[in-house]
Amino acid sequence: MRIAVVGCGRWGSFIAWFCSMLGHDVTIYGRKSSKKLAQLKEIRRNEYVALKDSIKITDTLGDVVSRETIIISVDSQSLRSVAAELKVAGIKNTTVVLCMKGLEIGSGKRLSVVVGEELEGTGCSIAVWLGPGHVQDFSAGIPNCMVIDSSDNALSKQIISALSGGLIRFYVGDDLIGNELGAAAKNVIGIAAGMLDGLGLPSLKGALMARGAREISRLIKACGGNELSAYGLCHLGDYEATVFSEHSHNRRFGEYVVRKSKGEIVEQNYLAEGYYTAKAIMDVSRETSSELPICEAVYKVLYENEDTEEMLKKLFLRSLKTEF
């Protein structure tokens, strides 16, 4: 396949490396101003992977829209503008795969919906690539399982056939709503886990996982998805990589928030994806009248400067309840 990867960060560069390893003809795109793209152009590698000479590195969208499959891996809040730029560049009848997790702030829309709106009339098909895994592990040869989902089951199977190899075992998803919501929400749960680490309360992660999955299952059902998707690879199945892993940006970000509030000097140069999702998911919560106590607690700490320890005490040390 002739594949273009939009996004040259850690996931974009890995996807380009992975697809090339499978024998595909690969182009990777980044904006002209991107330092990450400049590094790839100069030395064809970053801290995770080294790109083969056969992989084309470009800052021209014209090189992207001519490809039959485009895999997008950018931050969630940039997706709408990226999709609009692809439309202007002339994208037509292309398979677009979103390898990213999140919800749009202001609308609470799932990312496949955002792209669908921007690419309306182009004849493009949209799928999502979700599930657990870290670039650091994949690039070291450690395998994992992931999911491809779309509104077209045949399209999902076609993508899986093209991307299957020994490193990633893909499963066919059958609930686009549930899998996208679950994948986005797990990043918020990851931040909560990091907050527990920062407070020295990692033993409460068991309660966090049990309650988190139940909370998100209610949200998925309220949005028209299958509530059992919260217990699949895209949410509960991704907790190991998000709630416990040293590589998890969201867990590390949650820990950073707590340590910074204690006055510690901690190096931090990014906002984790769950930071944005925590705000967007509150829009969905209000629209669907869904109670999301964990997500709301994370939101209040991040956006309303509530005390982390007090918020988590309210969550885990409140009066007797009969169910999560």
**Which positions are annotated as active-site residues?**
186
Task: Spell out the residues 6+ positions from residue 13 whose beta carbon is closer than 8 angstroms to its own.
Answer: 28, 36, 40, 46, 48, 49, 51, 135
Query: Dihedral sign, CA of 18, 57, 27, 176?
Result: positive
Rounded Cα gap, residues 272 and 278, in angstroms: 10
Cβ(273)–Cβ(189) below 8 Å: no
* Distance (Å, whole) CA 193 – CA 213: 13
For residue 299, the SS3 value is helix
Asked whether the beta carbons of 5 and 98 are under 8 A apart, the reply is: no
Strands 56-58 and 69-72: unpaired
Cα(251)–Cα(19) distance, integer angstroms: 28
* Helix or strand holding residue 5 (H, E): strand 2-6
* Nearest to 278, CA basis, from 216, 203, 214: 216
Scanning the structure block, which residue is given the tokens 């990851």?
Answer: 190
